[in-house]
């Protein structure tokens, strides 16, 4: 009877001790994550006050979060009696195994580091990278976040570094490309002068470099003009739409002929052949 009582008491004490450790681990996990978020936010705020680039701030914040969470897991394991040195050896072995199996992930980390060093773009730039075109939100250790037409895309850093990168925000101005189809009866010189005047009045169109307008090609309908005003990179979309609208309104006010495609429809049914011309 005493043996049974002692066994039950021993099991009860061990269960209580283990339960307290579980509760302590849960408390440490939640409190630790809360403190990590505060530490990361304070670090990012301090770097922001020092006018550090947002790209670097995001990268440092992500690396800091990963490192502190690893240390938090180590602390929780120590609570259960795991030796730190044993865990360090286990972590090293695990890291080696993961590195061999997930070499692509490590290449993304290395690519992220190179992106931070080479700086082909920064947070807030509009780029075309890794097959995605949009605004860079963050450059992380593994992926770069790009927002495009309301869609958030996570692009592997390795794919970005191994592909061509186009930064639409790097230069002080960007050229807008618009095409205008003229009718054969339209005086192209008059059309060019009218377009140049109207486009120059569009908000955010830069006076320098000057607006480029010229005949790019010829079609059966008539000559095709290319209109290329310049603007700041952030105004490209607005100037593109306003340029097309201004050209349309200018041609309507001037009474320029609208180019029409003529089709001939042949009716081969019946005794004879009948033709009907349609304009579109």
- Ordered strands of the 212-219 beta sheet: 178-181, 222-228, 212-219
- Residue 72 has a pLDDT of 81
What whole-number percentage of the chain has pLDDT above 70? Answer: 77
DSSP 8-state code for residue 178? E
- Confidence label for 49 from pLDDT (cuts 50, 70 and 90): confident
- Residue 152 has a pLDDT of 93
DSSP reduced 3-state for 190: helix
Residue 218 above 70 pLDDT? yes
- Residue 177 has a pLDDT of 94
- Residues in Cβ contact with 35 at an 8 Å cutoff, skipping those fewer than 6 apart: none
- Burial category of 6 from C-beta neighbours within 10 Å (exposed 0-12, middle 13-18, buried 19 and up): exposed
Q: What is the average pLDDT value for the chain, to the nearest integer?
A: 81
Domains of the chain (ranges; CATH) run 2-101 (1.10.287.1260), 112-167 (2.30.30.60), 174-254 (3.30.70.100)
- Confidence label for 226 from pLDDT (cuts 50, 70 and 90): very high
Question: pLDDT higher for 248 or 16?
Answer: 248
What are the pLDDT digits (tens) for 108-160?
Answer: 778 888 888 888 998 889 999 999 999 999 888 888 999 988 899 999 898 99
- Residue 278 has a pLDDT of 45
- Can you say whether the dihedral through the CA atoms of 236, 242, 243, 244 is positive or negative? positive
Spatial CA neighbour of 255 closest among 199, 196, 190, 200 = 190
What are the pLDDT digits (tens) for 58-85?
Answer: 777 777 888 788 778 877 777 776 665 6
Among the listed ranges 23-32, 91-100, 220-229, 251-260, which one has the minimum average pLDDT value?
91-100
Question: pLDDT higher for 264 or 249?
Answer: 249
Task: Show the tokens assigned to 166.
Answer: 């186009």
The values of phi and psi at residue 115, to 5°, are: -65, -35
How many other CB atoms sit within 10 Å of the CB of residue 218? Answer: 11
What are the pLDDT digits (tens) for 183-217?
Answer: 988 999 999 999 999 999 999 999 999 999 999 99
């Amino acid at each position: 009877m005493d043996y049974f009582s002692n066994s039950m008491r021993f099991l009860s004490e061990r269960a209580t001790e283990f339960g307290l450790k579980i509760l302590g681990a849960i408390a440490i996990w939640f409190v630790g994550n809360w403190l990590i978020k505060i530490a990361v936010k304070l670090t990012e705020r301090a770097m922001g006050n020092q006018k550090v680039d947002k790209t670097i701030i995001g990268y440092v914040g992500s690396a800091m979060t990963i490192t502190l969470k690893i240390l938090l897991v180590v602390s929780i394991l120590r609570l259960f009696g795991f030796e730190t040195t044993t865990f360090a050896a286990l972590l090293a072995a695990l890291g080696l195994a993961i590195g061999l199996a997930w070499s692509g992930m490590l290449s993304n980390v290395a690519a992220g580091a190179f992106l931070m060093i080479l700086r082909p773009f920064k947070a807030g730039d509009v780029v075309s990278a890794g097959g995605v075109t949009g605004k860079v939100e963050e450059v992380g250790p593994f992926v770069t976040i790009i927002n495009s037409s309301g869609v958030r895309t996570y692009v592997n850093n390795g794919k970005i570094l191994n592909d061509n990168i186009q930064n639409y925000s790097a230069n002080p101005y960007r050229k807008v490309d618009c095409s205008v189809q003229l009718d054969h009866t339209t005086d192209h010189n008059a059309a060019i002068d009218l377009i140049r005047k109207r486009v120059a009045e569009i908000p955010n169109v830069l006076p320098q470099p000057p607006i480029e307008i010229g005949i790019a090609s010829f079609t059966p309908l008539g000559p095709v003009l290319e209109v290329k005003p310049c603007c700041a990179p952030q105004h490209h979309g607005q100037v593109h739409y306003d340029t097309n609208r201004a050209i349309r309104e200018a041609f309507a006010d001037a009474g320029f002929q609208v180019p029409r495609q003529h089709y001939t429809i042949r009716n081969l049914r019946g005794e004879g052949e009948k033709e009907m011309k349609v304009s579109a």
